Amino acid sequence: MIMAAPSLGALLVIATTILVIYLVNLLWRRRNLPPGPWGLPIIGCMHMLGPRPHHTFQKMAEKYGPLMSLRIGQKLFIVASSGEAAKEFFKFHDANFSSRPFKRAFQVLMPNDIAFVEGNSPLRRHLRKIFQLELTSAKRIQETEHVRSGEMSKMIKAIPENSAITIRHYIEVMVTNVLSLMVFKKQYLAVAGKEVSSTTEEIKEIDAFKRILSDIAVNISKNNIGDVVPALRRLDPQGLESQYREVKERMDSFSSKIIAEHQERRHPGARLHSLEHEKDLIDIFLDQVEEEKKHEVTLENVQSILWNAIAAGLAPIVAASEWALAETLRNPHILEKAQAELDDVVGKSRRVQESDIPKLKYTQAIVKEAFRLHPAPMPPPHESMEPCKVFGYDIPAKTGLLCNFYAIQRDPAVWHKPLDFDPSRFLEGSPTASISVSGLRHFDLIPFGSGRRSCPAIEMGQLMVNLITANLLHAFDWSVPDRRQLEDDTEDVDHTASRAVAVTAIVKRRLPSDVYT
Return the beta strands (E) in 209-290 as ranges. Answer: none
Taking residues 167-193, what's their average pLDDT?
83
User: Given this model, what pLDDT does residue 210 score?
Assistant: 86
Most confidently modeled range among 54-63, 176-185, 489-498: 54-63
Q: Assess if residue 383 is contained within a domain.
A: yes
Task: Give CA–CA dist 276/311, Å, rounded.
Answer: 25
Q: What is the pLDDT of residues 74-129, one digit of tens each?
A: 999 999 999 999 999 999 999 999 999 999 999 999 887 777 777 778 878 888 88
| pLDDT score, position 5 | 54
Q: Is residue 1 part of a domain?
A: no
Range in 231-245, 252-266, 336-350 the model is least confident about:
252-266
The pLDDT assigned to 6 comes to 57
Task: Classify residue 427: in a domain, yes or no.
Answer: yes
Rounded to the nearest integer, the mean pLDDT of the chain is 88
> Is 347's pLDDT higher than 80?
yes
pTM of the shown model: 0.89
In which band, very low, low, confident or very high, does the pLDDT at 206 lie, cut at 50, 70 and 90?
confident
Pairwise CA distance, residues 278 & 259, whole Å: 16
Is it the case that residue 195 has pLDDT exceeding 70?
Answer: no
Give dist(CA 327, CA 275) in Å, integer. 44
- pLDDT score, position 114: 78
The Cα-based distances of 65 to 149, 195, 446 in angstroms read: 46, 52, 20
Going by the annotation, the residues of the binding site for heme are 455
Q: Is residue 2 part of a domain?
A: no
Least confident of 111-115, 229-233, 356-360: 111-115
Express each pLDDT in 410-461 by its tens digit: 999 999 999 999 999 999 999 999 999 988 889 999 999 998 888 888 999 9
Residue 399, phi then psi, degrees to nearest 5: -90, 130
Percentage of the chain modeled with pLDDT above 90: 60
Phi/psi at 505 (5° precision): -145, 165
- C-alpha gyration radius of the chain: 25
What is the pLDDT at residue 193?
45
- What pLDDT, on the 0 to 100 scale, is given for residue 12? 66
Straight-line distance from the first to the last Cα atom of the chain, in angstroms, rounded to the nearest whole number: 83
| Mean local confidence (pLDDT), 190-200 | 53
CB atoms within 10 A of CB 210: 14
**Residue 350 located in a structural domain:** yes
**Lowest model confidence (mean pLDDT) among 243-247, 280-284, 360-364:** 280-284
- pLDDT at 191 (0 to 100): 52
Q: Note the pLDDT of residue 261.
A: 87
Asked, for residue 193, whether it belongs to a domain, the answer is yes
- What is the C-alpha to C-alpha distance for residues 473 and 481, in angstroms, rounded to an integer? 17
DSSP codes of every residue in 11-74: HHHHHHHHHHHHHHHHHHHTS--------BTTTBTGGG--S-HHHHHHHHHHHH-SEEEEEETT
The pLDDT confidence band at residue 266, using thresholds 50, 70 and 90, is confident
- The neighbour count for residue 392, using CB atoms within 10 Å, is 7
Q: Which residues pair with 505 in a beta bridge?
A: 165
Q: Tell me the three state secondary structure of residue 179.
A: helix
DSSP codes of every residue in 283-296: HHHHHHHHH--SS-
Characterize 82-113 residue by residue with b for buried, 16 or more Cβ atoms within 10 angstroms of its Cβ, and e for exposed: bbbbbbbbbeebbebbbbbbbbbbbbbbbebb
Question: Is residue 119, in this structure, part of any structural domain at all?
Answer: yes
pLDDT at 338 (0 to 100): 98
Boundaries of domain holding 266? 8-516
Asked if pLDDT for residue 349 goes beyond 80, the answer is yes
Q: Is the pLDDT of residue 11 over 80?
A: no
CA 113 to chain centre: 15
Distance CA 473, CA 356 (A): 14
Question: What b/e sequence results for 261-280 when a residue is b if at least 16 CB atoms lie within 10 Å of its CB, and e otherwise?
Answer: ebbeebeeeeeeeeeeeebb
The per-residue pLDDT for 205 is 79
Given a cut of 70, whether residue 18 has pLDDT beyond it is: no
Closest CA to 302 of 348, 332, 261, 340: 261
Yes or no: say if 117 and 124 are a contact pair by the CB < 8 Å rule: yes
- What pLDDT sits at residue 495? 75
Q: How confident is the model at residue 388 (pLDDT cuts 50, 70, 90)?
A: very high
Has residue 404 been placed in a domain?
yes
| Tens digit of each residue's pLDDT (9 = 90 or more) over 278-319 | 678 888 888 888 876 656 788 888 888 889 888 888 999 999
Q: Is the per-residue pLDDT at 273 higher than 50?
A: no
**Using CA atoms in the order 185, 190, 193, 198, what is the torsion angle rounded to 10 degrees?**
-90
What's the CATH code of the domain at 170? Answer: 1.10.630.10
Average pLDDT over residues 246-259: 93
Q: What are phi and psi of 76, to 5 degrees?
A: -85, 130
pLDDT of 17 above 80: no
Tally the domains of the chain.
1
Residue positions in the annotated binding site? 455
Cα angle 327, 328, 334; round to 5: 130
